Structure 1
Amino acid sequence: MKIYDRLWAVIAVMLICGSAAYADTVDMEPAWVKNAGAHHLAKKNKIFEVTTYGAVNDGKTLNTKFIQNAIDDCSALGGGIVTFAPGKYLTGAIYLKQNIQLQIAKGVEILGSQDIDDYPEIPTRVAGIEMLWPSALINVLHQHKVSITGGGIINAQGKPFWDKYWQMRKNYEAQGLRWIIDYDAKRPRAILVSDAEDVMLSGVTIEQAGFWTVQLLYSKFITVDGLTILNNIDGHGPSTDGIDVDSSADVLIQNCDIDCNDDNFCLKAGRDWDGLRVSRPTEYVVIRNCIARAGSGLLTIGSETSGSIRHVWATHLSAIGTKNGLNIKSAVTRGGTVEDIHFQHIEMKDVGTAIAVNMNWNPAYSYSALPAGYDTAHIPPHWKKMLAKVEPAEKGIPHFKDVYISDIHVSGAKQAISVTGLPKSLVTGFHFQDVSTQAKSAGNISFAGDWTFDRVSIVAEDGRKVNITESEQVKL
């Protein structure tokens, strides 16, 4: 990472804090914000050091069973701290248990196995669909009072899984199967927190995730603090999201720095028929004092919106070279409601589109159709879920409303705003206050309604204004 980029980021955060004085008097923090994050964590200090269980820190010996034995003993004896002597530890999937702190200190590097057989399949949810999928490198499943801490490195070594995906995608696209490749190219996540409560992830650096980096699934009272995520080392990992909050609640994310090749900070709640069946929202999420670098969105909401996403407080953030700033997306088979989103005190530099909203996002990926020649009786179960029709069709129409955007400063953007609603579902109740944007083009708004603007400036290099069509009570 370039030194001047880090310096710019620090300056940006300082500017945000300084420029927020006025807006803070307007945007009063909701009471629920203080409740987000882990409340209770393990307090026992007994040490369980993995080399005493046979682990070897040479970066070559597969240590999965030795590390797991240390974890199991620690839990059986009431909890404590699982530690590593300095060095490199190769491992497959490990499973943390309650009342445990996994401490990855500075000088320790966890290396993920590059053999998919070292990640046993488990029932989980991936990209909005419940299915069997490989375990993550580090798993917190149905546990509480668990921490992963330290200044060390988790290097998932995901490049072979990236290469596998790209080869499969080439073949799948040729067969008209773009919509299922992400589900068939099974790749391990770096950290999965699922059906868990009171979990903290703090301080570690995560590199080269094979798939999503951190997924928080069906969980509550989770804190993610001070993670650095670097997924563009030795290539650009496809779908290597930074932090995904997936049908979870009361989540606090702060002081994180993400460089990835997909959504940086992302909120999800299920996809299409299967997501509507599960019907679990993502709600009460705080994201603050964070940086997004390369990636698809400083804050992405969707496209998996089926269970609804609401009550989000995103504040004091910066984007540097990110594809989008605020990116809200869905599709006409997703359904769900996105509402009560607060996006404030933000600096963006050299982004693609500052504000992007699309209810019919990426049709080639979003809509499933089985090509001729396939027998539906002999396709995998997750294919059948993807092909299941949402009935009545109106259940699949998403709704976006009540979004508050304030104290936003954008320079060097390609486009200021791009909004595409639906004739059946206008994008309603967006409120802009103290927003200044410099971009090559102003952009467009279609199928929107009931928007307000207070001290909003959009300066476009091409001299044009925002093109507003098929909208009601939207006037810049």
Structure 2
Amino acid sequence: MKQIIALISWLAVVAVANAQEYIISNYGVSNDSTKLQTAAIQKVIDKAEANGGGTIVIPKGVYLTGALFFKSKTKLLLQEGARLKGSDHIDNYPLIPSRMEGRSIYYYAALINAYHVDSFQINGPGTIDGNGLKYWEYFWFYRDSVKQHGRSATNLEVHRPRLIFIWGSNNVTIKDVKLLNAGFWTTHLYQCNNVLIENCDIRSPFKPVKAPSTDGIDIDVCKRVTVRKCYISVNDDAVCIKGGKGPDAHKRGENGVVEDILIEDCVFGESHGTLTLGSESIHARNIVMRNCKMEHNTSILRLKMRPDTYQIYENIRIENITGKCGTIISMAPWTQFYDMGGSTEKPFAIVRNISFSNLNVQCKTVGAMQGNPADTVSNIWFSNIIAKAETAELKTNYKAISFNHVIVNDVPFKN
């Protein structure tokens, strides 16, 4: 009995510690948008961890900061009118072990970082603002400069921070928050399981300066991720499935499958692709996107087929989709930064069990499905679809595609 009482008492202490709130303005952090306060905010996070955990509260106001690192049992809450604004100097984001573009490398920390923090939460209704304009402007300047010398610039050559990077964390929640103006990718999840991203507003601009490579949500070697009731419009892919690239990527332990992903009740504005698999993905399966509205001129499903990477894309369902889009499906070879690394492997892709059902959309064309020569495609279904298209065509050489009750421009569709 004494042991049970002791256990209950210990659990009560832990619960109180985890429920404790640390309002940063009570710990010497001032509401001054011109003053860098990274160290002061980090001190509050560290204090919360030392006391057994708690919620770091950002009150109304604008707070300028570099990289912040959340610790065990700590969480983040941004109150109404709160804006956590990222520094636009890369020196305020340390170079640390990280993960970028399908490789485990040293890279610059994100604005918000959580490494192996189970049950990590970010809650709104406030804003995390990447303040990315200077990064975007320099990216385009640098890219144009090297182009004059006959070379293409990679994304990693222009040093920019992501907005959020969460690594190796389970039971993660990001809810009711605005995620804006990332310098690089907006939300990057790596090796995470059981994640909910709900009722978030995720944006980066197309003008007056394009915000390059500001993917909305990157899901990288993760399982059981739900994206629900979000608005996403970014100058790259809205939701992107990653997991590794290169001829030996499928053999490397840091890479892996992405599976059991649900995207529902979302609205998608302009982007480069609504749901994109690639450009660094080795195995993606059991993915559902349903009950979503399109408000853009890009593809609903985009498959990037890397000729230097073994890929499997399988068991994908797109259903109950309305609105305006560019294409229903876009599948094409993806050779950006192609690199066999001296390998004699002959990578190929398998694409199978993909269905589109109950779509009512206006589009430019049905789309295209053309991979690399060794790729195989099977069991692709289009059913119960009504579309108005500028061009009633699906460009493909693959035969394993079936159409059932597909009406394009008021005429039964036959490819």
Once residues 255 and 105 of structure 2 are traced to their aligned partners in structure 1, the CA distance between those partners, rounded to angstroms, is: 16
| Structure-2 separation of matches of 1:417 and 1:314 | 18
The C-alpha deviation readout for 1:33-55, integer Å capped at 9, x for no partner, is: xxxxxxxx988321111122221
Separation of aligned partners in 2, 1:323 and 1:389: 35
Find the counterpart in structure 2 of residue 426 from structure 1.
376
Q: Could you tell me how far apart the structure 1 residues matched to 2:337 and 2:69 are?
A: 33
Matched residues in 2 for 1:227 and 1:419: separation? Answer: 32
1:344 to 319, 328, 340: 319
From 396, 400, 404, give the equivalent of 1:454: 404
State the shift of 1:389 in Å.
Answer: 3.6
Q: CA deviation at 1:234?
A: 5.3
C-alpha root-mean-square deviation of aligned residues, in Å? 2.1
**Aligned position for 1:251:** 225
| Cα distance between partner residues in 2 of 1:275 and 1:418 | 27
Match of 1:311 among 262, 281, 286: 286
Find out whether 1:214 has 2:214 as its counterpart: no
- 1:289 partnered with 2:265: yes
The match for 2:338 is 367
Q: Name which of 194, 199, 207 aligns with 1:226.
A: 199
1:202 correspondence with 2:175:
yes
SS in 2 for 1:211: coil
Task: Give SS of 1:407's match.
Answer: strand
1:18 aligned partner? none
Q: Secondary structure at the match of 2:351?
A: strand
Flag the 1:449–1:390 CA change in 2: closer, same or farther, 3 A. Answer: farther
1:199 is aligned with what amino acid? V
- TM norm structure 2: 0.91
Pick closer, same or farther for the CA change 1:449–1:75 going to 2, 3 Å. Answer: farther
Which TM-score applies when normalising by structure 1?
0.80
> Which of 74, 82, 88 is the matching residue for 1:108?
82
**Identity fraction in percent:** 28
CA offset digits 1:119-144 (Å, max 9, x no partner)? 00122221212222110000111211
The whole-number CA distance in structure 1 between the counterparts of 2:370 and 2:92 is 43
How far has the Cα of 1:297 moved from its partner? 1.4
Match of 1:34 in 2: none
Output the CA distance in 2 between the equivalents of 1:389 and 1:229. Answer: 39
Asked if residue 59 in structure 1 is aligned to residue 33 in structure 2, the reply is yes
| Between structures 1 and 2, the one with greater strand share | 2
Q: Helix, strand or coil for the counterpart of 1:162?
A: helix
Q: Which residue of structure 1 aligns with residue 388 of structure 2?
A: 438
- Structure in which a larger fraction of residues adopt helix: 1
Deviation at 1:282, TM superposition (A): 0.7
Cα shift at 1:176: 4.3
Shift of 1:77: 1.1
Alignment of 1:59-138 (within 5 A): 59-138=33-112
- In the alignment, does 2:271 pair up with 1:299? no
The answer for the alignment partner of 1:388 in structure 2 is 341
Instruction: State the SS of the aligned residue for 2:403.
Output: strand
Alignment match, 1:415: 365
Q: 1:418 to 1:97 in 2, by over 3 A?
A: same
Separation (CA, whole Å) in 2 of partners of 1:174 and 1:42: 60
- Give 1:174 deviation, angstroms: 3.5
8 Å CA contact 2:248, 2:309 repeated in 1:
no
Q: Which runs of 5+ in 1 are unaligned?
A: 1-40, 369-386, 467-474
Question: Could you tell me how far apart the structure 1 residues matched to 2:200 and 2:15 are?
Answer: 20
The number of aligned residues is: 398
Please tell me the residue identity of whatever aligns with 2:401: W
Partner of 1:170: 144
Q: Distance in 2 between matches of 1:175 and 1:443?
A: 39
Cα offsets for 1:196-244 (capped at 9, x unmatched): 1111111111111001100111111111111101201753201111111
